[in-house]
Each structure stands twice: as C-alpha cells, then as structure tokens.
Amino acid sequence: MAKDTPIEYRNLVIYQVYVRNHSPEGTFEAVEADLERIRSMGVDVVYFMPIHPIGQLNKKGTLGCPYSISDYRAVNPEYGTLADFQRLVERTHALGMKVMIDVVYNHTSHDSVLVSEHPEWFHQDERGMPVTTVPEWSDVIDLKHPNPALTAYLIDTLRYWVQMGVDGFRCDVASLLPVEFWEQARAGVAQVRPGIIWLAESVHVEFIIDRRINGLFAVSDSELYRAFDLLYDYDIWPCWQHAVKGSMSIQSYLDLLRFQDGIYPENFVKIRCAENHDQPRIMDFAPSREQALAWSALMAFNKGPFFIYTGQEAGATQQPSLFDIDKVDWKDFELQDFITHLSALKKHTAQRGRLIFTNSDPLLQACWFNGEQSLMGIFNLGGQRGESLTYLEDGVYLDLLSGEQIPVQGQKMAIPQSAWILECSLKQPLPSYRSPILTSEY
C-alpha cells in the first residue's frame, strides 16, 4: 500500500455522479445546482464518471459509453465547457468537498486523438490495426503499456487536471496496467500537488485468472496497494452477491472479510458499496426492501469508505444505461434521510477504533470499539423475525438510524426489520468472531 495513505481515508463518504443521467439537463451546471443537497448527506468526495468527449466510431448505443474516450484533455461538450467544469470544481471546494474524476488509461475510443497521432501506442493485430484485448469491449482499443512516451503523456495529463483543481483519481480497470506505471503517475502528480486520493478499480479475481490463462496481463489487489490508497471490493464481490441472494451463508461472507484483514497491509482501505454503475441496484437485487436496507447499512458500518451511487438515495431500482439517456428517477428522495444517517456513521468517533464482528446467525452483529465510545450494529440480512441474543447489557439504547429507543432485557432484543445502529458504552472489546475455515483447528 502507498505508505503515506492516511488511515482516515477509511472514514470517507464518496458520491458517484454520472453527469449525463444525473439531471434532466445532463450538464455540469445542473450538477452544480445539486451540490448543496449532495453535501447535506455528509459527502466528502464527489466522484465524476468520465467527463471527456466520447468516441463515435464503433460506439455502443445512441450516445456511446463514457469509458470510450476520444480526448483525455477535453470535456464532453454534451456536459458543457471547460469553464463550466472549473466552476463546478470551485463550487464543490467552496462547499467543503473534494472532486475525483475517472481515469481510463487502459483504452481509448477507436477515433481518439492518440490513435491518429501515435498508433504505435496501441495493441495491434497481425494487420497492424489497433485492437482491444477484451472482445466484448468492442467500442474501445487498448493502449500498450509500458511505453515511456505514452507514460509521460498520461502523467502530464493527470498533472493538467490536478492544476484544474481535481483532488483525486478513480482509475478504471487499474489491474490491467503495470503497477510501475501507477507508481510513476503517483510520484509525478505529487510533484505538482501532494495528497491526491488514488482509487483503483481493481477487478474480479476470475477476470485476472482468465487473462493470465490467455497470456494477457493483470495484477492482483496486493500488488496494486503499492501505488493506490483505496481499492474496490471486487476481490470478494461475487461472494457478497451470493450472500445477499441467500445462496451463500453470511458466515462465509464474514470469513472473507476476515481473510481481507489478514492478506492486505494493516492499513488497507477497501471501498464499501451496495451498488455502482457496473452493478445492479441493491433495491432491485436484494430479496426484499428490508434486506436491501440492512445490506446498505452494513456497507456504511464496515471498515472502509462508504460509497454511494447517484440515485441510491431515491431508492432507485433501475441500473442506468451507460450508452443512452436514462435519467435517474428521483421521485421524493425517499431514502435520503437514511443515506444521510449512514454517512454520519463514518464520522462517529467509534469508527476510529476497532471493528469486531461477533456473530452472523440469526443476525449479523458487529461492534466498533473505541474505549467507551462504541457502536453496536444489528443487521437483519436474512429477513428474520422474532428476537435474538445480544452481547449488550440490559438497558435501553438509541438507534442512530431511526431515533427510536431499543430495549434489551435478559440479553435479548427484538430483531429489527432491517438494521439498528446502537450507541453503547463498553469497557472492553466484545468477543471477536473467529473464522472456522481460517484457523488451524479442524
């Protein structure tokens, strides 16, 4: 892991915006008008999916995919002008939030400025034509790393956006580029402004394995931590999906969280989300609304930044298209208060302490222990009913999500419909869950 990564990054709240579908206008200016509402949810970083012009040659859909970029140093005229983006950055800063943009350095559009100026920078077939190494990504062609001239151009581009006021980079399919490139990029950007946030979209394990089997390049999450502050949670994402659906036990999911604690650097940071632009909406994916809320609460309670995708606060069920106009249906922002309460958890002093998972059946229970400032999370992930045992002493506890008083008697409590986050005073840590498959006791 980048040795200077602040541990406080685990307490960030990151909000993902797709400018095209965020508002009826689909512009930078319209996002700017929404910034105060976004800030009111406790957001620290506004992350923009690619803001650059979209290639037209071999595009997908009506308008094309934002990840098929024709010019890294320009903005999509569909969204506005460069001056409009600069105002958006300035306004975001004025409201106390940072700006992160998408960096897509594995590939460009078929008609990018680079393919005409530097065709030697691309993977080519036997006819000398630029190609992609991922056939289903038919609207893009792959840059070929390493290449010193290409590296210099891309790092200069990052510096350009940092000088424009950008505070962080979310790096698309970062696992497909050499770690040495990212290390050089980080060092080069730090010469202009240190403290930039580096988020890697690390990829699914099966994707890495398949590429290696086929003689293609891919690096693991452990390698990416040499250059990045934050990584996606895709190493265990398929297992999380199985747990949400009920086709894998919650205990097995806890085993994997504990596995992460042992295989990565001690101060590793994994973002925790219930949905993003590449994944189904949690309100559509989970078996019930209550379970969707419980899983969302767990993501905010878990160790790592809480990641919100545009429309999650509206309870959206439709995963927007990347290739066409597909506006978020905001309705009455029915979950905005809920999301705001979840965001507030990241700033609670207890989350500066130690996270302890205690048990998974019938409820997942976990505790943030920080001296006498502690939080107990009760998550009804399986849609159970009735009552359950708890480690809490008898008394009445405040639920930070609903504001209700929750009684505990005889170390038993009612099972919440979705989740409770209870403030409590603990003199010592609770007994920690121990994974039966990670111990040597068999």
pLDDT of residue 431: 87
Polymer length in residues for the chain:
442
Predicted local confidence at residue 436, as pLDDT:
82
Report the helix count and the strand count for the chain, using DSSP H and E: 14, 18
pTM for the model stands at 0.97
Evaluate the CA torsion angle 345, 348, 352, 358 in order and state its sign: negative
pLDDT tens digits for range 58-104: 999 999 999 999 999 999 999 999 999 999 999 999 999 999 999 99
DSSP string computed for 135-150: TT-TTEEEB-S--HHH
pLDDT value, residue 192: 96
Q: Which of 394, 354, 396, 359 is nearest to 373 (CA)?
A: 354
Selection from 177, 290, 307 nearest residue 244 by Cα = 290
- Tell me the fold of 354-424: Immunoglobulin-like (2.60.40)
- pLDDT at residue number 441: 60
Give the span between the Cα atoms of 189 and 163, in whole angstroms: 10
* Domain ranges for the chain: 7-352, 354-424
**Looking at domain 7-352, does it have CATH number 3.90.1150.10?**
no
List average pLDDT for each run of 10 residues in the chain, which is 442 residues long.
80 98 98 98 98 98 97 98 98 98 98 97 96 97 98 98 98 98 98 97 97 97 97 97 96 95 94 98 97 98 98 96 96 97 97 94 93 93 93 95 96 96 91 81 56
pLDDT at 3: 65
Q: Show the CA angle centred on residue 81, arms to residues 77 and 83, nearest 5°.
A: 165
Q: Which residue has the tokens 């696992």?
A: 175
Alpha carbons 98 and 17: distance in angstroms, whole number: 13
Write down the pLDDT at residue 397. Answer: 96
- Return the pLDDT at 440: 62
| Residue 21 φ/ψ, nearest 5 degrees | -105, 0
User: How far is it, in rounded angstroms, from Cα 172 to Cα 234?
Assistant: 13
